[in-house]
A and B are shown apart, each in its own frame.
Chain A
Amino acid sequence: MKALVIDDSRVMRRIVSNILVEVGFECIEAENGQVALDQLEAHSDVALCCIDWNMPVMTGFEFVVAARKRAEWRNVTLMMVTTEGEQDQIVRALAAGAHEYVLKPFTPEVIVNKLQFLGLVDLKEMA
Protein backbone atom coordinates (compact mmCIF):
# COMPACT_ATOMS: atom_id res chain seq x y z
CA MET A 1 0.00 0.00 0.00
CA LYS A 2 1.16 3.49 -0.76
CA ALA A 3 1.08 6.43 1.67
CA LEU A 4 1.62 10.12 1.04
CA VAL A 5 3.27 12.00 3.90
CA ILE A 6 2.55 15.73 3.76
CA ASP A 7 4.56 18.02 6.04
CA ASP A 8 6.78 21.04 5.47
CA SER A 9 9.36 19.64 7.89
CA ARG A 10 11.67 17.15 6.25
CA VAL A 11 12.48 15.65 9.66
CA MET A 12 8.80 15.12 10.43
CA ARG A 13 8.20 13.54 7.01
CA ARG A 14 11.05 11.16 7.71
CA ILE A 15 9.69 10.24 11.16
CA VAL A 16 6.19 9.53 9.87
CA SER A 17 7.49 7.68 6.80
CA ASN A 18 9.68 5.44 8.92
CA ILE A 19 6.72 4.42 11.05
CA LEU A 20 4.60 3.70 7.98
CA VAL A 21 7.34 1.72 6.22
CA GLU A 22 7.67 -0.39 9.35
CA VAL A 23 4.05 -1.57 8.98
CA GLY A 24 4.33 -2.22 5.25
CA PHE A 25 3.61 1.05 3.46
CA GLU A 26 5.55 2.44 0.56
CA CYS A 27 5.89 6.18 1.17
CA ILE A 28 6.02 9.24 -1.04
CA GLU A 29 6.27 12.76 0.32
CA ALA A 30 5.04 16.31 -0.22
CA GLU A 31 6.10 19.55 1.50
CA ASN A 32 2.74 21.31 1.13
CA GLY A 33 -0.86 20.76 0.10
CA GLN A 34 -0.33 21.78 -3.53
CA VAL A 35 2.54 19.36 -4.04
CA ALA A 36 0.39 16.73 -2.35
CA LEU A 37 -2.42 17.27 -4.87
CA ASP A 38 0.12 16.91 -7.67
CA GLN A 39 1.39 13.69 -6.08
CA LEU A 40 -2.14 12.30 -5.86
CA GLU A 41 -2.62 13.06 -9.56
CA ALA A 42 0.60 11.22 -10.37
CA HIS A 43 0.01 8.22 -8.07
CA SER A 44 -3.46 6.74 -8.38
CA ASP A 45 -2.64 4.01 -5.84
CA VAL A 46 -2.23 6.16 -2.73
CA ALA A 47 -4.34 4.66 0.09
CA LEU A 48 -3.43 6.98 2.96
CA CYS A 49 -2.39 10.62 3.43
CA CYS A 50 -0.82 11.83 6.69
CA ILE A 51 -1.33 15.58 6.72
CA ASP A 52 0.24 18.41 8.69
CA TRP A 53 -1.98 21.47 9.14
CA ASN A 54 0.30 24.48 8.88
CA MET A 55 2.32 24.56 5.67
CA PRO A 56 3.22 27.30 3.18
CA VAL A 57 1.50 27.52 -0.24
CA MET A 58 -1.43 25.28 0.73
CA THR A 59 -2.35 24.18 4.25
CA GLY A 60 -3.32 20.67 5.19
CA PHE A 61 -6.89 21.76 5.82
CA GLU A 62 -7.13 23.30 2.33
CA PHE A 63 -5.69 20.08 0.94
CA VAL A 64 -8.39 18.01 2.66
CA VAL A 65 -11.11 20.26 1.25
CA ALA A 66 -9.61 20.10 -2.27
CA ALA A 67 -9.01 16.34 -2.17
CA ARG A 68 -12.56 15.63 -1.00
CA LYS A 69 -13.96 17.38 -4.09
CA ARG A 70 -12.54 14.65 -6.29
CA ALA A 71 -14.72 11.56 -6.58
CA GLU A 72 -11.83 9.37 -7.72
CA TRP A 73 -10.01 9.99 -4.44
CA ARG A 74 -13.01 9.08 -2.32
CA ASN A 75 -11.30 5.95 -1.01
CA VAL A 76 -8.12 7.67 0.09
CA THR A 77 -7.91 7.77 3.90
CA LEU A 78 -7.01 11.22 5.21
CA MET A 79 -5.36 11.51 8.62
CA MET A 80 -4.29 14.83 10.11
CA VAL A 81 -0.98 14.74 12.01
CA THR A 82 -0.61 18.14 13.60
CA THR A 83 0.04 20.24 16.69
CA GLU A 84 -3.30 22.01 16.11
CA GLY A 85 -5.28 20.54 18.98
CA GLU A 86 -8.13 22.98 19.47
CA GLN A 87 -11.49 21.28 19.56
CA ASP A 88 -13.04 23.36 16.77
CA GLN A 89 -10.09 22.66 14.49
CA ILE A 90 -10.48 18.93 14.98
CA VAL A 91 -14.21 19.29 14.30
CA ARG A 92 -13.53 21.34 11.15
CA ALA A 93 -11.03 18.83 9.79
CA LEU A 94 -13.39 15.90 10.37
CA ALA A 95 -16.30 17.82 8.85
CA ALA A 96 -14.17 18.60 5.79
CA GLY A 97 -13.56 14.88 5.30
CA ALA A 98 -10.52 13.87 7.37
CA HIS A 99 -10.99 10.43 8.97
CA GLU A 100 -8.59 10.65 11.84
CA TYR A 101 -6.57 13.11 13.84
CA VAL A 102 -3.20 12.57 15.51
CA LEU A 103 -1.81 15.24 17.80
CA LYS A 104 1.90 15.96 17.81
CA PRO A 105 3.93 14.86 19.66
CA PHE A 106 3.09 11.20 19.11
CA THR A 107 4.72 7.79 19.48
CA PRO A 108 4.92 5.23 16.64
CA GLU A 109 2.35 3.18 18.52
CA VAL A 110 -0.18 6.01 18.25
CA ILE A 111 0.06 6.10 14.46
CA VAL A 112 -0.13 2.32 14.12
CA ASN A 113 -3.06 2.20 16.49
CA LYS A 114 -5.02 4.75 14.45
CA LEU A 115 -4.26 2.83 11.27
CA GLN A 116 -5.69 -0.29 12.88
CA PHE A 117 -8.88 1.59 13.61
CA LEU A 118 -9.02 2.68 10.03
CA GLY A 119 -8.54 -0.90 8.89
CA LEU A 120 -5.28 -0.10 7.10
CA VAL A 121 -3.04 -2.15 9.38
CA ASP A 122 -3.69 -5.63 10.69
CA LEU A 123 -4.12 -5.90 14.46
CA LYS A 124 -1.24 -8.36 14.61
CA GLU A 125 1.23 -5.62 13.67
CA MET A 126 0.85 -4.24 17.15
CA ALA A 127 2.96 -6.70 19.14
Chain B
Amino acid sequence: MFIFLGLLVLVVLYIVGFYNGLKTTEVRIGASIQEIGNQLKRQAELIPNLVDSVKGYLTHEKGIFTQLTDARKLVTTALETQDPKAIDKAQASLTQALRSITVIAESNPEIKASNLVSNLMGELRDTSDKVMYARRTLIDLTADFNVKISTIPGIWFASMFGFKAKPGLETPTSGDFLTVNPKDTAPPQVKL
Protein backbone atom coordinates (compact mmCIF):
# COMPACT_ATOMS: atom_id res chain seq x y z
CA MET B 1 0.00 0.00 0.00
CA PHE B 2 2.68 2.45 1.09
CA ILE B 3 4.90 1.33 -1.77
CA PHE B 4 2.08 2.05 -4.17
CA LEU B 5 1.48 5.47 -2.64
CA GLY B 6 5.19 6.22 -2.80
CA LEU B 7 5.28 5.29 -6.47
CA LEU B 8 2.30 7.53 -7.15
CA VAL B 9 4.03 10.47 -5.44
CA LEU B 10 7.15 9.83 -7.52
CA VAL B 11 5.15 9.77 -10.77
CA VAL B 12 3.34 12.99 -9.85
CA LEU B 13 6.65 14.66 -8.94
CA TYR B 14 8.11 13.51 -12.24
CA ILE B 15 5.16 14.90 -14.20
CA VAL B 16 5.39 18.24 -12.38
CA GLY B 17 9.10 18.44 -13.14
CA PHE B 18 8.49 17.43 -16.74
CA TYR B 19 5.81 20.07 -17.20
CA ASN B 20 7.84 22.85 -15.58
CA GLY B 21 10.94 21.94 -17.57
CA LEU B 22 9.07 22.05 -20.86
CA LYS B 23 7.27 25.28 -19.99
CA THR B 24 10.61 26.91 -19.12
CA THR B 25 12.10 25.80 -22.41
CA GLU B 26 9.00 27.05 -24.23
CA VAL B 27 9.35 30.51 -22.68
CA ARG B 28 13.08 30.54 -23.51
CA ILE B 29 12.30 29.62 -27.12
CA GLY B 30 9.97 32.64 -27.27
CA ALA B 31 12.71 34.83 -25.79
CA SER B 32 15.29 33.51 -28.25
CA ILE B 33 13.01 34.43 -31.15
CA GLN B 34 12.77 37.95 -29.74
CA GLU B 35 16.55 37.98 -29.42
CA ILE B 36 16.90 37.25 -33.13
CA GLY B 37 14.64 40.21 -33.86
CA ASN B 38 16.65 42.32 -31.46
CA GLN B 39 19.93 41.48 -33.20
CA LEU B 40 18.44 42.10 -36.65
CA LYS B 41 17.24 45.51 -35.47
CA ARG B 42 20.72 46.30 -34.13
CA GLN B 43 22.21 45.30 -37.46
CA ALA B 44 19.72 47.39 -39.43
CA GLU B 45 20.54 50.49 -37.38
CA LEU B 46 24.27 49.99 -37.14
CA ILE B 47 25.43 49.10 -40.64
CA PRO B 48 24.17 52.12 -42.65
CA ASN B 49 25.71 54.47 -40.09
CA LEU B 50 29.05 52.67 -40.19
CA VAL B 51 29.14 52.65 -43.96
CA ASP B 52 28.29 56.36 -43.98
CA SER B 53 31.13 57.17 -41.62
CA VAL B 54 33.64 55.29 -43.78
CA LYS B 55 32.26 56.89 -46.92
CA GLY B 56 32.55 60.30 -45.33
CA TYR B 57 36.17 59.65 -44.51
CA LEU B 58 37.02 58.32 -47.96
CA THR B 59 35.41 61.29 -49.78
CA HIS B 60 37.42 63.52 -47.50
CA GLU B 61 40.56 61.79 -48.75
CA LYS B 62 39.30 61.87 -52.33
CA GLY B 63 38.83 65.63 -51.96
CA ILE B 64 42.48 65.97 -51.11
CA PHE B 65 43.52 63.92 -54.10
CA THR B 66 41.43 66.04 -56.47
CA GLN B 67 42.82 69.14 -54.79
CA LEU B 68 46.29 67.82 -55.43
CA THR B 69 45.69 66.93 -59.09
CA ASP B 70 44.03 70.32 -59.65
CA ALA B 71 47.05 72.02 -58.17
CA ARG B 72 49.33 69.95 -60.37
CA LYS B 73 47.33 70.92 -63.49
CA LEU B 74 47.55 74.57 -62.51
CA VAL B 75 51.30 74.22 -62.12
CA THR B 76 51.75 72.71 -65.58
CA THR B 77 49.58 75.36 -67.28
CA ALA B 78 51.39 78.07 -65.34
CA LEU B 79 54.73 76.68 -66.49
CA GLU B 80 53.50 76.56 -70.09
CA THR B 81 52.02 80.05 -70.18
CA GLN B 82 54.60 81.60 -67.81
CA ASP B 83 51.80 83.91 -66.69
CA PRO B 84 52.75 85.39 -63.25
CA LYS B 85 49.09 85.45 -62.20
CA ALA B 86 48.72 81.77 -63.11
CA ILE B 87 51.94 80.92 -61.27
CA ASP B 88 50.69 82.77 -58.23
CA LYS B 89 47.39 80.88 -58.40
CA ALA B 90 49.15 77.54 -58.84
CA GLN B 91 51.41 78.24 -55.91
CA ALA B 92 48.48 79.17 -53.68
CA SER B 93 46.54 76.06 -54.59
CA LEU B 94 49.61 73.88 -54.15
CA THR B 95 50.30 75.27 -50.68
CA GLN B 96 46.66 74.66 -49.85
CA ALA B 97 46.84 71.05 -50.98
CA LEU B 98 50.14 70.46 -49.23
CA ARG B 99 48.81 71.89 -46.02
CA SER B 100 45.90 69.47 -46.16
CA ILE B 101 48.30 66.65 -46.88
CA THR B 102 50.51 67.42 -43.91
CA VAL B 103 47.45 67.45 -41.72
CA ILE B 104 46.53 64.00 -42.98
CA ALA B 105 50.10 62.78 -42.95
CA GLU B 106 50.38 63.74 -39.34
CA SER B 107 47.40 61.60 -38.54
CA ASN B 108 48.80 58.86 -40.80
CA PRO B 109 46.27 58.80 -43.62
CA GLU B 110 46.64 55.34 -45.09
CA ILE B 111 46.71 53.57 -41.77
CA LYS B 112 43.77 55.57 -40.62
CA ALA B 113 41.76 54.85 -43.74
CA SER B 114 42.57 51.16 -43.64
CA ASN B 115 41.81 51.09 -39.91
CA LEU B 116 38.40 52.53 -40.60
CA VAL B 117 37.76 49.95 -43.27
CA SER B 118 38.98 47.08 -41.10
CA ASN B 119 36.83 48.40 -38.24
CA LEU B 120 33.89 48.28 -40.59
CA MET B 121 34.74 44.71 -41.60
CA GLY B 122 35.10 43.77 -37.92
CA GLU B 123 31.72 45.25 -37.05
CA LEU B 124 30.15 43.54 -40.06
CA ARG B 125 31.48 40.17 -38.99
CA ASP B 126 30.48 40.76 -35.38
CA THR B 127 26.93 41.70 -36.22
CA SER B 128 26.40 38.67 -38.43
CA ASP B 129 27.96 36.49 -35.71
CA LYS B 130 25.49 37.93 -33.23
CA VAL B 131 22.54 37.11 -35.48
CA MET B 132 23.98 33.63 -36.09
CA TYR B 133 24.41 32.91 -32.37
CA ALA B 134 20.92 34.20 -31.64
CA ARG B 135 19.58 31.76 -34.22
CA ARG B 136 21.77 29.02 -32.77
CA THR B 137 20.11 29.54 -29.38
CA LEU B 138 16.70 29.08 -30.96
CA ILE B 139 17.84 25.94 -32.77
CA ASP B 140 19.41 24.42 -29.62
CA LEU B 141 16.42 25.17 -27.40
CA THR B 142 14.01 23.81 -29.99
CA ALA B 143 16.05 20.63 -30.34
CA ASP B 144 16.02 20.20 -26.51
CA PHE B 145 12.28 20.70 -26.41
CA ASN B 146 11.51 18.39 -29.29
CA VAL B 147 13.75 15.63 -27.99
CA LYS B 148 12.04 15.78 -24.59
CA ILE B 149 8.52 15.50 -25.97
CA SER B 150 9.29 12.86 -28.60
CA THR B 151 11.25 10.36 -26.50
CA ILE B 152 10.10 7.91 -23.83
CA PRO B 153 8.81 8.73 -21.22
CA GLY B 154 8.07 12.30 -22.27
CA ILE B 155 6.04 11.20 -25.27
CA TRP B 156 3.47 9.61 -22.89
CA PHE B 157 2.74 12.92 -21.18
CA ALA B 158 3.37 15.52 -23.89
CA SER B 159 -0.03 15.18 -25.53
CA MET B 160 -1.67 15.35 -22.08
CA PHE B 161 -0.51 19.00 -21.77
CA GLY B 162 -0.88 19.75 -25.46
CA PHE B 163 2.88 20.17 -26.11
CA LYS B 164 3.66 20.06 -29.81
CA ALA B 165 6.98 19.92 -31.62
CA LYS B 166 8.41 23.41 -32.25
CA PRO B 167 9.39 24.40 -35.77
CA GLY B 168 12.57 26.21 -34.62
CA LEU B 169 14.34 28.07 -37.39
CA GLU B 170 12.10 27.46 -40.34
CA THR B 171 13.90 26.32 -43.43
CA PRO B 172 12.30 24.89 -46.56
CA THR B 173 12.70 21.13 -46.57
CA SER B 174 12.75 20.69 -50.32
CA GLY B 175 14.30 22.45 -53.24
CA ASP B 176 17.52 23.15 -55.03
CA PHE B 177 19.63 23.88 -51.97
CA LEU B 178 19.32 20.32 -50.62
CA THR B 179 21.26 18.95 -53.58
CA VAL B 180 24.85 19.75 -54.43
CA ASN B 181 25.44 20.68 -58.07
CA PRO B 182 28.82 20.36 -59.75
CA LYS B 183 28.79 24.15 -59.88
CA ASP B 184 28.67 24.31 -56.06
CA THR B 185 31.76 22.14 -55.69
CA ALA B 186 33.95 24.63 -57.58
CA PRO B 187 36.00 26.89 -55.28
CA PRO B 188 34.51 30.38 -54.99
CA GLN B 189 36.24 33.14 -56.95
CA VAL B 190 36.89 36.47 -55.28
CA LYS B 191 37.38 39.49 -57.53
CA LEU B 192 38.71 42.71 -56.08
A and B: bona fide binding partners: no
A interface residues (Cβ-Cβ under 8 A, vs B): none
